Chain A
Amino acid sequence: AQTVTQSQPEMSVQEAETVTLSCTYDTSESDYYLFWYKQPPSRQMILVIRQEAYKQQNATENRFSVNFQKAAKSFSLKISDSQLGDAAMYFCAYRRDTGNQFYFGTGTSLTVIP
């Protein structure tokens, strides 16, 4: 069974600083996808970034980047130049290449301090 672990229930960062959110996962598959989703108080899950396991290059989306370590089964999210609007719950998620469902971690609540 696939499991996703986020060991940081809460994190805080000063505005304009950098923060890294941790995620580890367990799988016996070689092909899969990893995601970071943001959930603000509106409850809508918003895709932040996506990584294909077969790609060695780490994905980046503007201020958001990941550190994907396949052998260590680690997938951390780095947010640079943090903004007040980044405050939200962040969920790491896994999906098998041929799978139908996401497996989500328990989330990290990010606070941005002005």
Chain B
Amino acid sequence: GAGVSQTPSNKVTEKGKYVELRCDPISGHTALYWYRQSLGQGPEFLIYFQGTGAADDSGLPNDRFFAVRPEGSVSTLKIQRTERGDSAVYLCASSLSRDSPYGYTFGSGTRLTVV
């Protein structure tokens, strides 16, 4: 596609439920990133994929968070047993490579609200 697509745009879920957030990167972009942006803060790194593999998952806050990218394109961020503190905008970005001089292209994010 022309840009990074994230679905759903908004998601409301009950505490304790499981959610999946989807990211469809720009075609041909091998690098894919997930960030979390809490209210009034800048985005914080969660995980980086190079191709199908998670090259750096040091930002995942705990084992309730997991992400996959099985075919090297679409990625899914999965959150188990959601907590109210997980409420945030989850941003996905992709780039041709980690060192692309053109930077990353971000999607418009998924706003997750846990009630």
Is B8 interfacial (CB 8 A cutoff)?
no
* In the complex with contacts A44-B108, A45-B93, A45-B106, A101-B42 CB distance below 8 A: no
* Stretch with Cβ within 8 A of B (4 or more), from A13-21, A63-71, A79-87, A103-111: A103-111
- Pairwise interchain contact A43-B103, C-beta atoms closer than 8 A: no
Once bound together, how far apart are the Cα atoms of A106 and B39, in whole Å? 10
- Pairwise interchain contact B108-A100, C-beta atoms closer than 8 A: no
Is B98 interfacial (CB 8 A cutoff)?
yes
> What count of chain A residues pass the 8 Å CB interface test?
20
- Pairwise interchain contact A42-B108, C-beta atoms closer than 8 A: yes
Q: Which residues does chain B contribute within 8 Å of A45, judged by CB atoms?
A: 43, 91, 93, 104, 106
Q: Which residues does chain A contribute within 8 Å of B33, judged by CB atoms?
A: 100-101
Which residue on chain A has the smallest CB distance to residue B106? Answer: A45
Show 7 A/B contacts (Cβ-Cβ < 8 Å), sorted by A. A44-B106, A45-B104, A47-B102, A47-B104, A50-B101, A100-B33, A100-B48
Which residues of A pack against B, CB within 8 Å? 4, 35, 37, 42-47, 50, 91, 93, 100-107
